[in-house]
Amino acid sequence: MSEIKIGIPLHGKMAARAFHQPSFRQRLTEGGLKPLYFLSPYYFRSFDFDPEQYFELQVEQYDAQYQKSFFLQQLRMLRRFVVATETTDLRFRESIESKLFDATLPGMSAQMAFVNAVRRTPGMGRFLTWLETQLYATHAHDEKFKEQNISCVLTPGMGNFGFWNEGNFAREAQQMGLPAFAAITNYDNIVNMGYRGFHPTCLAVWSKQMADEAMKLHGYPANKMEITGPVQYDRFMAPLPKSREEFLRSLNLDPAKKTILFAGGVNINHYFDIYRVFVEQKDKVWREPFNFIVRPYPHPKLMSSPAWAVLENLLKQAGAYISNPGSIDASGDRTAEFRVDLAFDEGPDELNYLLRYSDVMVNYFSTIGLEAAICDLPTIHVGFDPYIFGLRFSVTTGFLQRQTHNRRPLRLAAARVAKNEKELFSALEDYLNDRALDREARRIYAESECGELDGKSGDRLVNMIKGRV
């Protein structure tokens, strides 16, 4: 059987960490597929790649088209909101807030009424996608598809919000008669990211729950969808080469102590709240000294903040370990961050160890809460903001708790939600006393989101593609 060349665009972190991890590349090769990666400029221009297998994703061409076309901007804005869920409703309100002080009241009122009417109109998502396809066809990669004899493509997402570039790439392939497969790369993409930008040859979803949501919210046909599981989480099923003692000692931490992991978001205020609790009130956290690990969110919104630079030093002085998942250094170099995204370094990453060897994790309702459940790590979500003056509602815990995926009963049952400091200290004591507490609820939640967690999601995705090329 001849080798099948498959084009894979990688623009964001989730996509890179799913489709460029060594285990998935190995699955593709073993399945007779040769991946040709089209990397976003910030990835492609940071390293020297094999010119036979790596190419630049023409993001700048796509951006130029988007910037010069007001109508295209409006089409995508509408497409983001036509999948009506609690989250898209919140994001619609957020978009209004961001423009409120720059627009006239009549203009803003008219836009609100128009968008609200459009997003409630049946079939509008399909129409908007069709209209965008007809009016804004791109041909940025046509020559590469021909030169490299590409047989099909695999994209993260379906060209919805956050995946515009991948959507353009897939439509270009379809215009040339190539099958375009898609795989969901985060558990909230179906409910949170609006309507799709193209119709995949087949869509890989994680679980029955996700398949049901795709059919209900997107009208996606069951016969063009397969449950494969999350490719990027196959790595959590593999054994770790280092023991807990070896790993913690490698971080200069004491294996005899309890280990508390805080995984934050982009809101710098939350990190100061955590500092106040876990450093200034550490005697209330646990009766004995403990290891405290802070994992900041790898985004410029946080990392480039002057406040983060100050707080990082304070945390280090207090003895906390900063698990920095590839940060922007003083010169603005993001090479370390990109190496993590593209899994250049051999072996499990630090997060894999942290999720399996910590005793409890504190978080603000982010994706890592699901990853913790997969790894059977007890989790406490902070559900209060001690100080909100000057904050936009969209960065508060109130906003996070109203999002569709964060209201699921199984998600809430798998973790504790602390509504005040007293509840936070109580939940910490419970989990530090008994790490097995809520274990079954974590398993049920993880399987509801991910389906079968057997480390074979990559195999199922490869088989899906091979069966339909």
Domains located in the chain, CATH noted: 4-65+129-229+454-466 (3.40.50.2000), 241-450 (3.40.50.2000)
* Cα 420 to chain centroid, rounded: 27
Distance CA 169, CA 43 (A): 17
- Judged by DSSP in three states, 65 sits in helix
Per the CB < 8 A criterion, the answer to whether 399 and 383 are in contact is: no
Q: Is the pLDDT of residue 341 over 60?
A: yes
Q: What is the residue-averaged pLDDT of the chain?
A: 92
Rounded to an integer, the average pLDDT of 188-213 is 95
Rounded to an integer, the average pLDDT of 98-124 is 84
pLDDT tens per residue, range 320-335: 999 986 555 544 567 7
Rounded to an integer, the average pLDDT of 209-231 is 96
At residue 115, the pLDDT reads 86
To which H or E segment does residue 93 belong? helix 86-99
In which band, very low, low, confident or very high, does the pLDDT at 98 lie, cut at 50, 70 and 90?
confident
DSSP 252: T
- State the amino acid at position 341 in one-letter form: D
Cα dist. 37→57, 106, 117, 144, 213 in Å? 9, 47, 40, 11, 30
Side-chain half-sphere of 356: how many Cα atoms within 13 Å? 18
Q: Is the pLDDT of residue 282 over 90?
A: yes
Please report the DSSP string for 397-424 in residue order. HHHHHTSGGGG-HHHHHTSEEESSHHHH
Distance CA 315, CA 322 (A): 8
Record the tokens describing residue 319, joined without a space. Answer: 């003895």
Range with the lowest mean pLDDT among 6-15, 370-379, 417-426?
6-15
- State the amino acid at position 172 in one-letter form: E
Main-chain dihedrals φ then ψ at residue 94, nearest 5 degrees = -60, -40
At residue 355, the pLDDT reads 98
Which residue in 315, 305, 303, 302 sits closest to 276, CA to CA? Answer: 315
* Strand ranges across the sheet with 379-382: 321-322, 290-295, 258-263, 360-363, 379-382, 416-418
Distance CA 268, CA 7 (A): 38
At residue 74, the pLDDT reads 93
Record the tokens describing residue 37, joined without a space. Answer: 């990666």
With tokens 């099958």, the residue in question is 179
Record the tokens describing residue 410, joined without a space. Answer: 């199984």
Rounded to an integer, the average pLDDT of 164-180 is 97
Query: How many residues does this entry show for the chain?
Result: 469
In which band, very low, low, confident or very high, does the pLDDT at 105 lie, cut at 50, 70 and 90?
confident
Per the CB < 8 A criterion, the answer to whether 301 and 13 are in contact is: no
Q: Is the pLDDT of residue 6 over 80?
A: yes
At residue 330, the pLDDT reads 45
Where does 324-439 show beta strands of DSSP type E? Answer: 360-363, 379-382, 416-418
